[in-house]
Chain A
Amino acid sequence: MPLILATSFAELKDIFLMQGFAGFSLFAVFLLMALGLAIIFGQMKVINMAHGEFLTVGAYVTVFLSHMVVNHAPKLLPYYFPAAIVCAFVVAFILGYIVEIGLVKYLYNRPLDTLLATWGLSMILQQACRSLFGAREDTATLPEWMMGSWSPSEGLDIPINGMFLLALAIVMVLLVYALMYRSRWGLKVRATMQNRAMAGAVGINTKRVDRVTFALGCGLAGIAGAAFTTIGSVSPSAGSLYIVDTFIVVVFGGAASLLGTVLSAFTIAQSQSILEFFLTGVLAKIFVLVGVIILLMIRPQGLIASKVRR
């Protein structure tokens, strides 16, 4: 008899809740990754195949810091994680800035060339991580307070790291929203991404906007990397596992919409997490992808598209 029929209603509710909360961890990582890619791909139209490697970089920064703390200053263990998030952002931001200057800026409006070049970059970065940190998987030592779970009722366990990630993702969404839609810098970004030549002709330094915007997207992937260390172990190819999912989230959400990205990350992460409990991981993924394809056939512009004549 299939599992779903064998379980009672109360158990089913707990399963949904638990898988739902497990899905929140996945949602948080998806969302952080997708936020960066929504800026880089959604706004700048750069197909950045190396986006996953910025997650890897952020994750390695976190792992490295956790080893440093464990070996040299174990007393700081409960506090290091917020600092690791900031460091992951800064390192990924700087790396992104360099990549923009050295590679991406020559390839604007050449999507296929960008795709190939950034794919090559992703392989270089993966190999660099392999050489620097070794091919073996590594894990960050998490502070005590992030481990374990909270059980509000019998049979229901909600992991604390999942809730922490969720809070982190929500804070980042709000920050990015404020930056993009409430600040003067965001205005410059939105103008530049709509019409680069004209933005320059009204007085915006578009080259600088491009550099900082790309670096910011990469920095967000770095934060996703720090978040990732709380739910998985890091290997040089960790980020590449997320890149396709992240593109799906951004395209499904509607390329230039922040709200669309949030809704889409939520839908995909939750359906995958809940389906995984009843089916195998691969089957769950197939179901999710088929769902995405059907919805994109009905709404090619994604979940949320801006209503404007073009």
Chain B
Amino acid sequence: MLDVKNLQVAYGESEIISQLSFSVARKETLAIMGRNGMGKTTLMKALIGILKCRQGSVQVDGLDVAKFDSFKRVDSGLAYVPQGRQIFPTLSVEDNIRTGLVTVGKRKIDDWVYTLFPVLKEMRRRRGGNLSGGQQQQLAIARALVSEPKVLLLDEPTEGIQPSIIQDIARMLNELKKLRDITIVVSEQVLSFTLEIADRILVMEGGRFVHEDLRANVDEAKIHQYLAV
């Protein structure tokens, strides 16, 4: 479903990711793990098009989107939940969700959104900026989901979120995988959360993948070692 080949991303002269290739099967959940500064967020930003891909291809369901602007990538089936949520603070919760509906050309928010995120229904008239961190995270995920993506990109969804909400998010994602035909790429540092949702784990260091494990036979000790500072 998502095929990345020889991807190269750089900030000016400093190359963060060089010659990175990986692919994610349909309905698979891939977790990309690694310490801070190893290139996870850079990879995510390059996939959604906030950063330019200098070289290589990013295929979504067979279509190469590497040269597209962000909005066209969303139209081609990608959706993005950024690190730090980045909801629109002065827009109401409803309006935040509606921004995701632009791509599909709808105005009305479907009921399943509020079924999946009951807290957003209570808060729907509030401004996004006045929500708590956990609520904002759910809002950011809802905003991404309403554009009906084939591939959902989640960048460190547990960062700065209290443990009980992390549990909720994991449960919600597993529910979502059952309900919908969706492929997920998630970057993470929290192994327990990752093990609850991921089918496969890649460990990233210095812009390259250095370790791969299926969840079925994951070597927790080894991954912990990679994540240790």
Residues of A bordering B, CB below 8 Å: 184, 187-188, 190-191, 194-195, 197-207, 256, 306-310
Q: Which residues of B contact A188 (CB under 8 A)?
A: 99, 102
Beyond contacts A190-B91, A203-B71: 11 other A-B pairs, Cβ-Cβ < 8 A, are A184-B98, A194-B89, A199-B88, A200-B49, A201-B50, A201-B80, A203-B70, A203-B103, A307-B127, A308-B89, A309-B130
Minimum CB distance partner of A207 in chain B: B69
Kindly provide the distance from the CB of A157 to the nearest chain B CB, expressed in whole angstroms: 44
Q: Which residues of B contact A197 (CB under 8 A)?
A: 50, 70
Interface centre among B48, B90, B127, B144 (most CB of A within 10 A): B90
Interface centre among B71, B75, B103 (most CB of A within 10 A): B71
Q: List 10 A-B contacts (CB under 8 A).
A: A197-B70, A198-B82, A198-B86, A200-B49, A200-B50, A202-B147, A204-B71, A308-B90, A309-B89, A310-B89
Dominant secondary structure at the B interface: mixed
In the complex, the answer to whether B88 meets A198 with C-beta atoms within 8 Å is: yes
In the complex, the answer to whether B127 meets A308 with C-beta atoms within 8 Å is: yes
B99 interface neighbour in A187, A205, A310, Cβ under 8 Å: A187
Q: Which residues of B contact A191 (CB under 8 A)?
A: 88, 91, 95, 99
Q: Which residues of A contact B130 (CB under 8 A)?
A: 308-309
The 6 closest A-B pairs by CB, nearest first: A203-B103, A200-B70, A203-B74, A308-B129, A191-B99, A201-B80
Kindly provide the distance from the CB of B63 to the nearest chain A CB, expressed in whole angstroms: 16
Q: Which residues of B contact A200 (CB under 8 A)?
A: 49-50, 69-71
Residues of B bordering A, CB below 8 Å: 48-50, 69-71, 74-75, 79-80, 82, 86, 88-91, 95, 98-100, 102-103, 107, 127, 129-130, 143-144, 147
- Interchain CA distance A280-B33 in the complex, whole Å: 71
- Interchain CA distance A204-B80 in the complex, whole Å: 13
Q: Which residues of B contact A205 (CB under 8 A)?
A: 69, 71
Q: Which residues of A contact B91 (CB under 8 A)?
A: 187, 190-191, 194
In the complex, the answer to whether A201 meets B74 with C-beta atoms within 8 Å is: yes
Kindly provide the distance from the CB of A147 to the nearest chain B CB, expressed in whole angstroms: 44
- Interchain CA distance A308-B88 in the complex, whole Å: 11
Kindly provide the distance from the CB of B145 to the nearest chain A CB, expressed in whole angstroms: 11
B90 interface neighbour in A194, A203, A206, Cβ under 8 Å: A194
In the complex, the answer to whether B48 meets A201 with C-beta atoms within 8 Å is: yes
Q: Which residues of B contact A190 (CB under 8 A)?
A: 88, 90-91, 95
- Interchain CA distance A256-B88 in the complex, whole Å: 14
Q: Which residues of A contact B48 (CB under 8 A)?
A: 201
Kindly provide the distance from the CB of A214 to the nearest chain B CB, expressed in whole angstroms: 18
Q: Which residues of A contact B82 (CB under 8 A)?
A: 198, 201
Minimum CB distance partner of B95 in chain A: A187
Q: Which residues of B contact A309 (CB under 8 A)?
A: 89, 129-130
B143 interface neighbour in A184, A187, A202, A310, Cβ under 8 Å: A202
Knowing A191-B91, A308-B129, A310-B89, say if A201 contacts B99 (CB, 8 Å).
no
Q: Which residues of A contact B86 (CB under 8 A)?
A: 195, 198
Q: Which residues of A contact B102 (CB under 8 A)?
A: 184, 187-188, 202-204
B129 interface neighbour in A203, A206, A207, A310, Cβ under 8 Å: A310
Minimum CB distance partner of B50 in chain A: A197
Q: Which residues of A contact B49 (CB under 8 A)?
A: 200-201
Q: Which residues of A contact B50 (CB under 8 A)?
A: 197, 200-201
Q: Which residues of B contact A201 (CB under 8 A)?
A: 48-50, 70, 74, 80, 82
Kindly provide the distance from the CB of B60 to the nearest chain A CB, expressed in whole angstroms: 14
- Interchain CA distance A9-B183 in the complex, whole Å: 78
- Interchain CA distance A154-B48 in the complex, whole Å: 70
- Interchain CA distance A191-B96 in the complex, whole Å: 8
Minimum CB distance partner of B147 in chain A: A203
Kindly provide the distance from the CB of A185 to the nearest chain B CB, expressed in whole angstroms: 10
In the complex, the answer to whether B89 meets A203 with C-beta atoms within 8 Å is: no
Minimum CB distance partner of A309 in chain B: B129
- Interchain CA distance A262-B38 in the complex, whole Å: 50
Interface centre among A188, A191, A206, A207 (most CB of B within 10 A): A191
Q: Which residues of B contact A306 (CB under 8 A)?
A: 90, 127
In the complex, the answer to whether A184 meets B70 with C-beta atoms within 8 Å is: no
- Interchain CA distance A198-B130 in the complex, whole Å: 18
Q: Which residues of A contact B98 (CB under 8 A)?
A: 184, 187
Q: Which residues of A contact B88 (CB under 8 A)?
A: 190-191, 194-195, 198-199
- Interchain CA distance A203-B100 in the complex, whole Å: 7
- Interchain CA distance A199-B95 in the complex, whole Å: 12
Minimum CB distance partner of B107 in chain A: A184
Q: Which residues of A contact B80 (CB under 8 A)?
A: 201-202
- Interchain CA distance A202-B88 in the complex, whole Å: 11
- Interchain CA distance A188-B180 in the complex, whole Å: 27
Q: Which residues of A contact B143 (CB under 8 A)?
A: 202
